[in-house]
Amino acid sequence: MKKVSLKDIAEELGVSKALVSLVLNGKGDERGINKNTQEKVRKKAVELNYRPNQYARGLRMGKTKTIGIIVPDISNVFYGTLCKAIEKKAYEIGYNLIISNSYEDNEKEIKLVGELMNRNIDGLILASSFEKDTDFEVLNFREFPVVLVDRKFDNLAIDSVSVTNEQGAKEITSYLLKEGVQKAACFAISPTHISSIEERVEGFNLANGNRPYQTVYDISHENIYADVKKVLKDIEGQGFDGIFCSNNSIAKALIKLGMKGEDFFEQYTVVSFDDIELFDLVAPRITTVAQPLDEIGANALKILLEKIENPGSKEVIKMVLPTRLITR
């Protein structure tokens, strides 16, 4: 019942381990190994159900064909879909993914990065929960291949794939105003200095440039529902008639609250960043800014693989993909 190794195949066939290894790795022809011998080796490998030990191989080669990915929360459909996109591509080229959740907890993120690096992953895709460039430096990646997704750090020389957050927020806010909203509020999720949120708020502000009044409110990501409720109460009677949500969690809280209020959705027009299925199924349906998750995932992986294959390269790619307004 024990695992079969190269040695087992070699002994049964009366050849060396080296030869077996060469053949099984497709280097038989290149090294001019007898076709006949090659055939025998391959047959025996199948017969014995040989599976190469990746840890031995990893130890020897220094590469493991495993990449790590850290997201705030895999059960959030946004990150779930992103991981799925990455996993799909990775699978096609023989890579596996180790997925971990940081829960927006910097301490845990630091630990996770360390542990994943321990496990000799070849590279890391990271949706970081860090807020400032300076904090980020504790992760100390040096030459280690890392690509940031979703959130980026402009002042650091680290590759990233993000979207046109500012432009997307500006577009959807403009849409809100064009639809007749007089006074819009922006509900920003904390921590607001995460790059993507900062840019969305900026987009909101830009679109409001020549309006008499608009305001940004902070919502704690740990306590979204209660905070949204509180802010709604605070702005009551101030003439607001539109709300831009900086991410899907806030919009979900608003929907839940809105269902309880009598005429909430007559009073407020709600739009949101992040296009999730839910927004198409509630009444009224929510107009959103969609992010190209498949492309984000595919590009992050592609950039990461290039880094892995060219370890010396100092080139830094900061890719920004377009968002799409989905009016409903």
Partner DNA sequence: CTGAAAGCGCTTACAG
Label residue 304 exposed, middle or buried (CB < 10 Å: 0-12, 13-18, 19+): buried
Return the number of the residue (62 or 209) whose C-beta is nearest DNA.
Answer: 62
Alpha-carbon span 95 to 123, nearest angstrom: 11
Task: Answer with the entry of DNA, a second copy, none that 31 interacts with (C-beta below 5 to 8 A by kind).
Answer: DNA
- 61's CB contacts (< 8 A; 6+ apart) are none
Closest CA to 225 of 203, 201, 255, 205: 255
Helices (H), 119-223: 133-136, 165-178, 195-207
With tokens 């829960």, the residue in question is: 103
Minimum distance of DNA from residue 30's CB (angstroms): 10
Tell me: does residue 25 bind DNA (CB under 7 A).
yes
Return the number of the residue (177 or 278) whose C-beta is nearest a second copy.
Answer: 278
Residues at the contact surface with a second copy, assessed by CB under 8 A: 1, 51-56, 58-59, 64, 66, 73-77, 80-81, 83-84, 87-88, 91, 96-101, 112, 114-120, 142-143, 252, 255-256, 259, 277-278, 280-283, 285
- Segment 54 to 93, residues that bind DNA, using CB under 7 A: 56-57, 59-61
Return the number of the residue (256 or 318) whose C-beta is nearest a second copy.
Answer: 256
Minimum distance of a second copy from residue 255's CB (angstroms): 5
Task: Answer with the entry of a second copy, DNA, none that 117 interacts with (C-beta below 5 to 8 A by kind).
Answer: a second copy
Q: CA angle 241-244-246, nearest 5°?
A: 160
Binding residue for DNA, selected from 26, 32, 239, 311, defined by CB under 7 A: 32
Return the number of the residue (22 or 254) whose C-beta is nearest DNA.
Answer: 22
Q: What is the pattern of x (binds DNA, CB under 7 A) and - over residues 94-133?
A: ----------------------------------------
3-state secondary structure (DSSP) of residue 23: helix
Alpha-carbon span 131 to 11, nearest angstrom: 57
Alpha-carbon span 215 to 327, nearest angstrom: 23
Return the number of the residue (61 or 213) whose C-beta is nearest a second copy.
Answer: 61
Q: For residue 293, how far is the Cα from the chain centroid?
A: 8
Tokens representing 1? 């019942």
Partners of residue 96 on adjacent β-strands? 66
Alpha-carbon span 242 to 252, nearest angstrom: 15
Task: Answer with the entry of DNA, a second copy, none that 17 interacts with (C-beta below 5 to 8 A by kind).
Answer: DNA
Binding residue for DNA, selected from 52, 114, 261, 322, defined by CB under 7 A: 52
Return the number of the residue (33 or 110) whose C-beta is nearest DNA.
Answer: 33
Terminal C-alpha separation, the chain: 60
Residues engaged in binding DNA (CB under 7 A)? 2-3, 5-7, 14-19, 21-22, 24-25, 27, 31-34, 37, 50, 52-53, 56-57, 59-61
